[in-house]
Amino acid sequence: KAGVTQTPRYLIKTRGQQVTLSCSPISGHRSVSWYQQTPGQGLQFLFEYFSETQRNKGNFPGRFSGRQFSNSRSEMNVSTLELGDSALYLCASSPGPASTDTQYFGPGTRLTVL
Amino acid sequence: SQKIEQNSEALNIQEGKTATLTCNYTNYSPAYLQWYRQDPGRGPVFLLLIRENEKEKRKERLKVTFDTTLKQSLFHITASQPADSATYLCALDANNAGNMLTFGGGTRLMVKP
């Protein structure tokens, strides 16, 4: 099976712009979670989607949003970019929402905000 | 406040020795705890999951223990190899509701030949 794919892999934006990142989960997986990773804060949970519904949301401002499509693919959007949004954005998929499901991470999208 | 703490300093050990990494948590009651490996520029890779009613879990050269009284998990790599050099992250189910993993800051392991 193909792994989790994320596009684009690298992105450079300027402050005030918005960005959309895409994640394709492993075939058959219905849950997609998004994380932000920075050197200072480490890996932080953004949100989780299961069957097109947001199940959990982390402590991030409303500028961060996401959605999941009927084929389980997911997108996250960040509006009005700030310098502090520069980070590696990771997507992870799992078969279901059960708390003991292993999460499979993608390679991430490296976002740089200038 | 809730915290998950891993030793932020790099752990340097000699090839062939056992590496032991620590994960401590406060103000959580996780149903399970997971360990991941992350190489530079790549996403984390799942290694092991241990449930609250399990004391120990093994997989090849890896062993994880989980002490809910001490609120601590230990991660051991026996007969370590230079290829084991990476950052190791512990994560736990923050709200017992699903895939909301909260991660520790990770410990970088360096295995020298």
* Beta carbons of A24 and A73 less than 8 angstroms apart: yes
* pLDDT single digits (tens) B75-100: 999 999 999 999 999 998 877 666 67
d(Cα B5, Cα A70) in Å, to the nearest integer? 38
Q: Which residues of B touch A108 (CB under 8 A)?
A: 41-43
Contact B34 A98 (CB under 8 A): no
Q: Would you say A14 and A22 are in contact if contact means Cβ atoms under 8 Å apart?
A: no
Measured between CA atoms, how close is B111 to chain A, in angstroms? Answer: 22
Q: What is the CA radius of gyration of chain B?
A: 13
Q: What are phi and psi of A40, to 5 degrees?
A: -80, -40
How is residue A8 written in tokens? 């684009």
Chain B contact set for A102 (CB, 8 A): 34, 46, 49
In 3D, which of A38, A8, A11, A36 has the Cα closest to residue A23? A8
Label residues A93-105 b or e (16+ Cβ within 10 Å = b). bbeebebebebbb
Per-residue pLDDT 10s for chain A (114 aa) are 789 999 999 999 999 999 999 999 999 999 999 999 998 888 999 999 998 999 888 999 999 999 999 999 999 999 999 999 999 999 999 887 655 678 899 999 999 999
Coil, helix or strand for A84?
Answer: helix
DSSP for residue A46: E
Residue B27 pLDDT level (bands cut at 50, 70, 90): confident
Pairing of strands A74-78, A19-24: antiparallel
Q: At CA B26, angle to CA B22 and CA B29, rounded to 5?
A: 100
What residues in A contact B103, CB-CB < 8 Å? 35, 42-44
pLDDT of residue A16: 97
